[in-house]
Amino acid sequence: MRDFIEQLPKPELHVHLVGSASLDTVLELARRHPDQDVPTERERLRAFYEFTDFAHFIDVYVKVTSLVVTGADITALAVGLARDLAANRVRYAEVTVTPVPHVMLGIEPDELAEALTTGRRLGWEQHRVELAWVFDIAGSLGYAAGVQTAEWVLRYRPEGTVGFGLGGNEVGVPRERYQVPFDMARDGGLHLVPHAGETTGPKTIWSALLNLHAERIGHGTSAVRDPNLLAHLAGEGIPLEVCPSSNIRTRAVATLAEHPLPRLLDAGVPVTLATDDPGMFHTDLNREYLLVHEQFGLSRGELADLARTGVRASFREPDRTTALLAEIDAVERQYDTEGRRTHDG
């Protein structure tokens, strides 16, 4: 199974640029900027990433973001992510970038766009991974930052821009507050992919769907609490980007055994696996696939279906989507056919 997972071509639709940085990358940045209260020794940094709850995770994420203060830092993150994705047989990734904090830290708006374009080009040239961008609002920064994010994206629109999102803490950050910037993004031709239902209940997901016109939902795991919502997601084919290790590490879900992934699949909801912040959570996409096989018994065919769902849920050009689906089919055919799980309801 490990060999199959390693060979399986995959998309990655929910990964944050800053949170993807490896320990080595963050150590390098921390040593460049020792005044930012991020550990400069490996074991202390690893301990720094032991989160007590979601609020603690956000606090650490903000501190790591404070290390990214130049366009060169942004480009290095993008190329490092492409390298790590290639090692996991990822062909295409939609990467979440939160532009306003980077601008607040002193990166010029045009420099940020240029750095992302350069990183995307080098990621393809050096690692043959196609990076696309989802620009998200840091909800904790408020409504004005939401409008600023939409204005920046629509003005600069770096090469590979596909989507517009909303991340950060969900508690006290109602989705409907950001309807105007999401309308701006939609009018500008961007796809809409907010986080919702990670640390709050189904009402947040309903709001993302009804107020923000979400086409995909980041996380969405609390949907299992609402049968009507599950039926809606399944009936409308609205995918969820599910990140098991992230949910456990941030305490959004208590234990892996309690993770709602099997219930989402049983309900017919489209699900794709993702890593969220792999550098901070000590994971990668191969590990996430192996994790759900070992914990929930997903077969080779079902793991391949998770990859296919991600490809179909992506905003990649149709011809390249077809080619990636064919790659998945070819790898699956190389292995013995394995029966699908049966469900007794």
Write the pLDDT tens digit of every residue in 75-87.
999 999 999 999 9
Residue 345 maps to a domain: no
* Active-site position among 198, 215, 288, 332: 198
Q: Is the pLDDT of residue 256 over 50?
A: yes
Q: Tens digit of pLDDT for each residue in 271-326? A: 999 999 999 999 999 999 999 999 999 999 999 999 999 999 999 999 899 999 99
Of residues 56 and 217, more confidence is placed in 217
Total number of domains in the chain: 1
Is residue 241 a part of any domain in this protein?
yes
What's the whole-model pTM score? 0.92
Comparing 46-55, 192-201, 310-319, the range with the smallest average pLDDT is 46-55
What pLDDT is attached to residue 202? 98
| Domain with 305 in it | 2-334
CA distance 95 to 77: 11
Q: Does residue 282 come out as left (phi exceeding 0), alpha (psi in the -120 to 50 range) or beta?
A: left
Q: What is the pLDDT of residue 72?
A: 93
Looking up residue 266, the CATH number of its domain turns out to be: 3.20.20.140
Cα 225 from Cα 40, distance rounded (Å): 42
In a domain, 271, yes or no: yes
Q: Is residue 138 part of a domain?
A: yes
> Encoding tokens for residue 332?
């699956």
CB 109 within 8 A of CB 157: no
Contact 262, 219 (CB under 8 A): no
Question: Which residue in this structure is represented by tokens 């990655």?
Answer: 12
Question: Is 246 contained in some domain?
Answer: yes
Tens-place pLDDT, residues 103-156: 999 999 999 999 999 999 999 999 999 999 999 999 989 999 999 999 999 999
Band of pLDDT at residue 200, cut at 50, 70 and 90? very high
pLDDT at 344 over 90: no
What is the number of H-type helices and E-type strands within the chain?
17, 9
pLDDT band at 337 (very low <50, low <70, confident <90, very high): low
pLDDT over 80 (residue 239): yes
Residue 198 annotated as catalytic: yes
Q: What is the DSSP string of 311-334?
A: HHHS-S-HHHHHHHHHHHHHHHHH
Q: At residue 340, does pLDDT exceed 50?
A: no
- Could you tell me if residue 8 is inside a domain? yes
Average pLDDT, the chain: 94
Q: Is residue 122 part of a domain?
A: yes
Residue 280: inside a domain: yes
Adjacent-strand bridge partners of 167: 138
